A and B are shown apart, each in its own frame.
Chain A
Amino acid sequence: MLGSAPAAAQHTFTNGNHSLQLSGFVSAYYNHRFLKEGELNRKNNRFRLRDMQLGLNGRVGKQWAYKVRVDMADLAETAMQSGQTLDPENPGLMSAFIEYTGLPVDIKVGYDKLPYSQGSMLSFDESVFWQRGQLLRGDFFSRRDIGITLTHSMWKQRINLYAGVYTGLGENIIGNNDNDPSGRLEYIGRADVAYPARYRYVEADILQVPVPMVRAGINARYTNKAQPAGQQLPSNIGGEYGLRVIDGKRFAYGWDASFQYRGFSAQFEAQVLRLEPSQAGSDLFYNTDAEVNKGIVRSGGWQAQVNYCALPAKSVLSVRYENYNLNDLVAGETQRLGIGYAYLINGYKAVVKLHYYRIMKEDAKLEPLKWTDQVRVGMSYAF
């Protein structure tokens, strides 16, 4: 029985109209990398405090809600590494918003996860893996930003519609404060539909639902960050691959699907980026002729994941396959395999997780790696 061990829950204070919940999440792991021959730097063989989150989550009456969630571990790390590229999966400030739910459309203002990509919207606390797929963890597109999100649900919450406008700088807006010199914003929309009932954003079917459930979603986002003459984007804002924010037009779209039934579950997601750098000499063109690149760079990929939850064994086993291409103007692609095992000591509140990574195919030109395999094992605890 997953819930058989006594457990401390979040703590709530209420005054009859206003309830405030205090919660947190701590996780730590040991990481071991299997390096290629000749590689000697083993700095990634280490223990790491991944999360030390504290959250305040409030509701005032039926119509107002707010949330603030901060990861102390990431803030400490960011302070130590100022000037480095920010890890979009661990940005420090996780959420800070207020929400009005008294209209047919819920209105959220502030900083939070963006309504884009099923794999990004899934809660890490309830993932079997220690890391999201490379395509969805924030290097191809930002996962959080400041702005306004409108949400509307219908058909017993089976259909959910999202629309929002944001700074377009993603997680970097927190350190940057100002927008980039273009002053333009990013627009995001998403729609998903589930059947036969509403489908929460979870990976594993730990409820072992008695009827087959499916959900399909589509989403798109657009921004034009072409820089005015003589201006340039803030440094380190493009992320690991220089794709998150570009000097030019950026259109991304994707679709996703999810299925669960009696402990089995699966997720699929594809993402496409269509980039139009404003400068003919942009690094993204990799010195190709304009006749070849036609002013456009495409990037993207897909990932598929299957999971099985064995309740009597308190276990979830997941296998994930990823395939992505960083730039269609450069030959090559990356294929990764992930195998995850989670032992649920007390549901997802207390979990021991093992994550094995294997690089099946490497994009030697755009993403040369020093390692072939990696194992990450650790524990997380939600309170």
Chain B
Amino acid sequence: MKKTYFLLAAAFLVLSAFKATAPLLKYEHFKSIKVPEPSDIAFDGSGQVLYVVSDNGILYECTPEGKVLRRAAFEGMDFEGVEVVGDYIYVADESLRQVHRFDREHLKKDKTWYVPYSGGRNKGYESLAFNRTTERFVLITEKDPIVIKELNGDFIPVNEYAFTAARDISGARYHNGYMYLLSDEDRKVFMCHPETYEVIKSWKIEVLNPEGIAFDKDGRLVIAADDLERLYFFGSLPQ
């Protein structure tokens, strides 16, 4: 019997050894933020303001280092994605399959769209981004399955892609001509083709529960960690 145990353990370890690797990105520093369970982040065009959404359905306006300046009065159920386009901030409410629009001046909600998706309640829209190559909004479901939906300005779906390179997707951002997707469970950043969403490169990050991704005005990567309520600051991604 002992021999059987030994053989089983040996076979398991051999199987474990085959590991696909991606280069590791190391963060330079991190900051704790006073936003409960931050689930996504997005800079405005100037890079001077950082918008943060939280799992408890609140939109916060912060400094680039994450200090809270003000918060929106409107509360949703479970905000998981945020994007800034022009004078508006767009926020995805995962459970209710809604996208809210807030004006930047007053942080007041002025419009809501319903984008149907019948998957698991906590596996809905986890990421919201604006693809400047296709000039379309992008909503991505978290997992089981990961679906990338491209939508027009009225949030009507115009195209759909399956993404199978990760266990989940927790954030997305357009930067320098590429779409960058973030996986919480795999702790990876994927650089994707902006029209096909095929993976061009990927990097591993050592951050617990990464849920939000953004690039600051100098093109440096910033990751929001939900459980630890921190922002992690990286350098620019190697091209």
Binding site for B on A (CB under 8 A): 1-4, 6-14, 16-17, 19, 21, 23, 57, 59, 61-62, 156-157, 196-198, 206-207, 209-211, 308, 310-313, 315, 317, 339, 341, 347, 349
A62–B56 touching, CB < 8 Å: yes
* Subset of 15 A-B contacts with CB under 8 Å: A1-B167, A2-B167, A4-B165, A7-B144, A9-B144, A14-B96, A16-B114, A59-B121, A61-B77, A197-B208, A197-B209, A210-B208, A313-B12, A315-B16, A339-B5
A315–B143 touching, CB < 8 Å: no
Which chain B residue shows the least CB distance to A16?
B96
Q: Distance in Å from the Cβ of A150 to the closest Cβ of chain B?
A: 20
A interface, over-half SS: loop
Q: Distance in Å from the Cβ of B171 to the closest Cβ of chain A?
A: 16
Q: A19-B95, A62-B75, A210-B208 are in contact. Are A7 and B145 (CB under 8 A)?
A: yes
- Report chain B residues within 8 Å CB of A2: 167
- Report chain B residues within 8 Å CB of A198: 227
- Report chain B residues within 8 Å CB of A206: 185
- Report chain A residues within 8 Å CB of B15: 310, 312-313, 315
In the complex, A168 Cα to B2 Cα: how many Å?
A: 44
Q: How many residues on B have C-beta within 8 angstroms of the other chain's C-beta atoms?
A: 47
Q: Distance in Å from the Cβ of A272 to the closest Cβ of chain B?
A: 32
B77-90: CB near A (< 8 Å → 1, else 0) gives 10000000000000
- Report chain B residues within 8 Å CB of A315: 12, 15-16
- Report chain B residues within 8 Å CB of A207: 185
Q: A10-B123, A197-B227 are in contact. Are A17 and B144 (CB under 8 A)?
A: no
Q: A3-B167, A62-B57, A315-B15 are in contact. Are A210 and B77 (CB under 8 A)?
A: no
Which chain A residue shows the least CB distance to B185?
A207
Which chain A residue shows the least CB distance to B56?
A62
B38-61: CB near A (< 8 Å → 1, else 0) gives 000000000000000000110000
B95–A14 touching, CB < 8 Å: yes
Which chain A residue shows the least CB distance to B116?
A14
Q: Distance in Å from the Cβ of A101 to the closest Cβ of chain B?
A: 10
In the complex, A157 Cα to B79 Cα: how many Å?
A: 18
**Interface residues in B112-126 (C-beta closer than 8 Å to A):** 114, 117-121, 123-124
In the complex, A4 Cα to B143 Cα: how many Å?
A: 10
- Report chain A residues within 8 Å CB of B209: 197
B interface, over-half SS: loop
Q: Distance in Å from the Cβ of A38 to the closest Cβ of chain B?
A: 22
Q: A19-B96, A197-B228 are in contact. Are A9 and B165 (CB under 8 A)?
A: no
**Interface residues in B1-51 (C-beta closer than 8 Å to A):** 5, 8-9, 12, 15-20, 36
Q: Does B97 contact A (CB under 8 A)?
A: yes
In the complex, A197 Cα to B208 Cα: how many Å?
A: 9
- Report chain B residues within 8 Å CB of A341: 8, 12
Contact with A6, one of B96, B162, B167, B208 (Cβ below 8 angstroms): B162
Q: Does B135 contact A (CB under 8 A)?
A: no
Q: Does B206 contact A (CB under 8 A)?
A: yes
In the complex, A209 Cα to B205 Cα: how many Å?
A: 11
Q: A209-B208, A313-B16 are in contact. Are A23 and B96 (CB under 8 A)?
A: no
Total residue contacts A-B, CB cutoff 8 A: 115
B168–A10 touching, CB < 8 Å: no
A12–B121 touching, CB < 8 Å: yes
Q: Distance in Å from the Cβ of B84 to the closest Cβ of chain A?
A: 24
A23–B120 touching, CB < 8 Å: yes
Q: A11-B119, A16-B114, A315-B12 are in contact. Are A210 and B145 (CB under 8 A)?
A: no
B165–A59 touching, CB < 8 Å: no
- Report chain A residues within 8 Å CB of B117: 12
- Report chain B residues within 8 Å CB of A21: 120-121
Q: Does B164 contact A (CB under 8 A)?
A: yes
> Sorted from nearest, which 6 A-B pairs have the closest CB atoms?
A310-B16, A3-B167, A313-B15, A9-B144, A10-B120, A197-B227
- Report chain A residues within 8 Å CB of B208: 196-197, 209-211
B115-143: CB near A (< 8 Å → 1, else 0) gives 00111110110000000000000000001
Contact with A9, one of B5, B57, B119 (Cβ below 8 angstroms): B119
B121–A19 touching, CB < 8 Å: yes
A12–B119 touching, CB < 8 Å: yes
Sample of 13 further A-B pairs with CB below 8 A, known A9-B143, A14-B96, A209-B208? A1-B165, A1-B167, A3-B146, A8-B144, A19-B96, A19-B121, A21-B121, A197-B208, A210-B208, A308-B16, A310-B16, A317-B12, A339-B8
Contact with A156, one of B95, B143, B207, B227 (Cβ below 8 angstroms): B227
In the complex, A17 Cα to B97 Cα: how many Å?
A: 10
Q: Distance in Å from the Cβ of B23 to the closest Cβ of chain A?
A: 15
Which chain A residue shows the least CB distance to B114?
A16
Q: A3-B166, A19-B95, A313-B18 are in contact. Are A9 and B145 (CB under 8 A)?
A: yes
Q: A16-B96, A57-B121 are in contact. Are A62 and B144 (CB under 8 A)?
A: no
Q: Distance in Å from the Cβ of B220 to the closest Cβ of chain A?
A: 21
B121–A6 touching, CB < 8 Å: no
